[in-house]
Amino acid sequence: MRSFQRRHKAFRPNRLFDERAKLREQALAIESEKLSKVETLKTEPIEFFRQVLGVEPTDYQKEIIDLFYKNQFIAARWSRQSGKSFTTSGILLNYALANPNFYIGVVGPSWRETKLVIRRVGEFARRLPP
């Protein structure tokens, strides 16, 4: 009767080196893909809202995003619960990523409201790809 013993495989270090080189190439490709995605998100704020924040901006949100990049000062006078703080926070985070050597000041009628925007920017920053 035939025994069912395992045959030991021979150790072939060349195969390990080849596999390691393939894995390194794949890791570099994935890393470069992530970097290109981040660069794309920096330059396209509406795509940033879709992919990072997971929100499809409404028409009026798209309008204020465009106005932000075209004008030095803007003011949003929208109804309650229409996404003013959300939109502003997303725009500020996108702008901070695109312009790393700038300071951004957040001003509001009260510290509570200002703190809300700053906290929301921090929450959005945690959603960024590594």
Q: Note whether 76 and 70 are within 8 A (CB).
A: no
> Is residue 86 included in any domain, yes or no?
yes
User: How many domains does one find in the chain?
Assistant: 1
> Is residue 31 included in any domain, yes or no?
no
> Is residue 82 included in any domain, yes or no?
yes
Position 14 scores a pLDDT of: 76
Q: Which residues contact 88 (CB under 8 A, 6 or more apart)?
A: 76, 117
**Count of other CB atoms within 10 angstroms of residue 68:** 19
Using pLDDT thresholds of 50, 70 and 90, give the confidence band for residue 2: low
> Is residue 63 included in any domain, yes or no?
yes
**C-alpha to C-alpha distances, 122 to 38, 51, 71, 114, 119, nearest whole angstrom:** 17, 17, 25, 13, 5
Q: Please give the residue range of the domain that contains residue 105.
A: 44-126
Position 118 scores a pLDDT of: 92
- Please determine, for residue 89, whether its predicted confidence score (pLDDT) is greater than 70: yes
User: In the chain, what percentage of residues exceed pLDDT 90?
Assistant: 20
Structure tokens at 115: 């703190």
> Is residue 113 included in any domain, yes or no?
yes
Position 3 scores a pLDDT of: 62
- Please determine, for residue 1, whether its predicted confidence score (pLDDT) is greater than 60: no
Position 91 scores a pLDDT of: 92
> Is residue 95 included in any domain, yes or no?
yes
> Is residue 105 included in any domain, yes or no?
yes
> Is residue 10 included in any domain, yes or no?
no
119 or 13: whose pLDDT is higher? Answer: 119
23-56: pLDDT as tens digits: 999 988 888 887 777 777 778 888 888 888 888 9
Position 120 scores a pLDDT of: 92
